[in-house]
Amino acid sequence: MTVKEKFQGFKQKFSNISLPAFIPRLREIDEEVFVQKYSTPLDADGEKIPSDNKVRFTLDREQKEIKYEVRDEANRKWWALFDEFEYKEHRTGENVTEHKWYHWFDVNDSPEERRVIIKIDIVLCFFSFVMYWVKYLDQSNLNNAYVSGMKEDLGMKGNDLVNTQVVYTVGSVVFQLPMMYLIHRYPTHILLPAMDIAWGLFTLAVYRSTSVGMLQALRFFVGVFESAFYPTIHYLYGSWYKPSEYTRRGGIYYFGQMLGLLTSGLVTASCVENLTGVNGLDGWRWMYIVDAIITIPVAIIGFFVLPGVPKKCYSLFLTDEDIFIARERLRKANIALETEGPQFFNIQLWKDLLWDWKYYMFVFLNIWGWNNSNGSSGAYLLWLKSLKEYSIPLVNQYSTITPALGIIWIYMTGALADHARSRWGALIFSQTFNLLGNILLAVWYIPKGAIWFGFCLQYFGWASSAVNYSWASDAMRHNPQHRAITVVSMNMIGQATTAFTSVLVWKTVEAPRFLKGYSFTGTVAFVMMIWGTLILPLYKKEERKYAHEQGILLYNSAKGEVPPEIPPVAPSALSDSDEIEREHFVIDDLSDEKKQ
């Protein structure tokens, strides 16, 4: 018996074990039950029978439900290039909808859909925010510890700080390679919490550090076990949310990053003030103990909260009906559901991926995204300490100012991307302010208030991160495996570049001036704007090929083309089941007001 056969036998035996109700398990649902429930009933004449619900999430297998727009591109304006949703949304007829910046839901979302979205927001969006807060609390505490006594206690000198940061990066990058395979194949509600518990334990162990070498070894393993988090969460977002929903929720997820930076300063300040000397430990050592106490319980909760993906859902909080509606929302948006597909090591899978422009363009976009901020360098903290105007607790407290502003910058960028339907516009907006801040800091010899202003803009760099991933997930929505590999590659390769760029341009001995660092990040911000502008026409060209999926039929009368005929039957939605053939789910407004 082969190893694979033994594993399959063990898996079969384990699946037959009766688990307690509070243990998550794979949710097997009968979709046909809900197909029957949500099919619109017809009378003898083929007319729809009105429902008691004002708005229903309905399914029609035989009746044409997609509203078509026949669009002549003869007079298409040149600025239509910047309309990213030109081939996703109707521009004429009754299907045109308005999007308000203060609306959380799309105006076309039914009550059933909104109920499901709220649940997903809680179990995925909110909880990923909490997990990211914990992750960045554990990741960014090194800079706070460095200015709070660790440098002197461990005898750190020269570029030991930046080298320790690089060691963490190496651990994270190297172990993201297997994540390309694991996040597509194994339950994320087990994978992520297990890794989280391990990084919490290594974070705890840092408090016992007695030398720079020991510190760097422990930080390496913190990076190893944090490697799964970033790409897996973005993959889950792309698996549950539609393109117009992703960026704002990705922004909330990034609030956790800013909150981690913010609370790291507050936790350090509190530990230095109140715990220094307790049990013979310095305040910075207590900080690592407190961080671990926060991390491990959150990781355990994740085992029960994280939902998996729609096709392989393990959620305790979503009903069978919720899972069915979540799947159909994605089918209607022409987002392919998770399936087995080709094996990870299938040559054709990689040939198709590596022959696709999207892989390279989005990976490079995120390389710029990983190098366009001075936030992780510790430059702001080192500048505050160099002023010699503030006590150590006050330095840590003031360190919370820029991440607090970062929360605002991230929300503004994400809201612009979703509500203005423009990831490109959000990218240009964020990087313009990022460029301005880095120019001020590169000049340096300016009034102190101007330097403060430059640092206050530093997290405009990271504000574009959710935009990058949401754009890539949207562009690769038709192939979950390509999307998974691309998302991991974006994070892995982008982060890998910081391992050498940080050593080159953020040498600790050059603090706090960092002329090379600010000049580099400013240049990258500018390059990122150019790169996003190059992606836009390629993306639009690709989206034009899929316009028919949204009921948009194109022709160009200037080229002698005739208007296409509206199909007698709506095109089939993407389906993960050959047994259930269905049309798109659509929104029916059956209110009396609409009928009049």
pLDDT tens digits, residue range 450-485?
Answer: 999 999 999 999 899 889 999 998 998 888 888 888
pLDDT in tens, 538-550: 999 999 998 888 8
CA distances from 145 to 6, 286, 296, 378, 403 (A): 48, 10, 20, 11, 17
Mean per-residue pLDDT, 530-535: 96
pLDDT reported for residue 377: 83
Checking if the pLDDT of 434 tops 70, the result is yes
Ranking 175-189, 435-449, 503-517 by mean pLDDT, the lowest is 175-189
pLDDT band at 43 (very low <50, low <70, confident <90, very high): low
Backbone phi, psi, residue 277, to 5°: 95, -15
Higher pLDDT: 307 or 247? It is 307
pLDDT band at 8 (very low <50, low <70, confident <90, very high): low
Distance CA 508, CA 457 (A): 22
Checking if the pLDDT of 440 tops 90, the result is yes
309-335 per-residue burial string, b: 16 or more CB within 10 A, e: under 16: bbbbbbbeebeebbbbbbbbbbbbbbb
Work out the number of other CB atoms within 10 angstroms of the CB of residue 223: 25
Mean per-residue pLDDT, 411-437: 92
pLDDT reported for residue 44: 54
pLDDT reported for residue 137: 87
Contact 337, 480 (CB under 8 A): yes
pLDDT reported for residue 254: 85
Work out the number of other CB atoms within 10 angstroms of the CB of residue 211: 11
pLDDT reported for residue 392: 85
Token pair listed for 542: 């690709």
pLDDT band at 215 (very low <50, low <70, confident <90, very high): very high
pLDDT reported for residue 231: 82
Checking if the pLDDT of 578 tops 90, the result is no
Contact 410, 462 (CB under 8 A): yes
pLDDT reported for residue 444: 95
Checking if the pLDDT of 270 tops 70, the result is yes
Ranking 313-317, 360-364, 574-578 by mean pLDDT, the lowest is 574-578
pLDDT band at 284 (very low <50, low <70, confident <90, very high): very high
Token pair listed for 386: 């160099």
Distance CA 250, CA 126 (A): 10
State whether residue 312 is helix, strand or coil: coil
Closest CA to 422 of 193, 165, 81, 187: 81
Q: Which residue has the tokens 């691309």?
A: 486
pLDDT band at 140 (very low <50, low <70, confident <90, very high): confident
Q: Are strands 69-72 and 552-555 parallel, antiparallel or unpaired?
A: parallel
Contact 372, 431 (CB under 8 A): yes
Distance CA 331, CA 572 (A): 9
pLDDT reported for residue 55: 46
Higher pLDDT: 37 or 218? It is 218
pLDDT reported for residue 41: 58
Mean per-residue pLDDT, 388-393: 88
Checking if the pLDDT of 362 tops 80, the result is yes
pLDDT reported for residue 570: 46
Structural domains of the chain, with CATH: 111-306+357-545 (1.20.1250.20)
pLDDT in tens, 549-565: 888 889 999 888 888 88
| Average pLDDT taken over every residue of the chain | 83
pLDDT band at 592 (very low <50, low <70, confident <90, very high): very low
Checking if the pLDDT of 423 tops 60, the result is yes
Mean per-residue pLDDT, 153-170: 91
pLDDT reported for residue 42: 53
pLDDT reported for residue 343: 66
pLDDT in tens, 495-512: 889 888 888 999 888 989
Q: At what angle do helices 448-456 and 379-386 cross, to 10 degrees?
A: 160
pLDDT reported for residue 10: 55
pLDDT reported for residue 589: 36
pLDDT band at 342 (very low <50, low <70, confident <90, very high): low
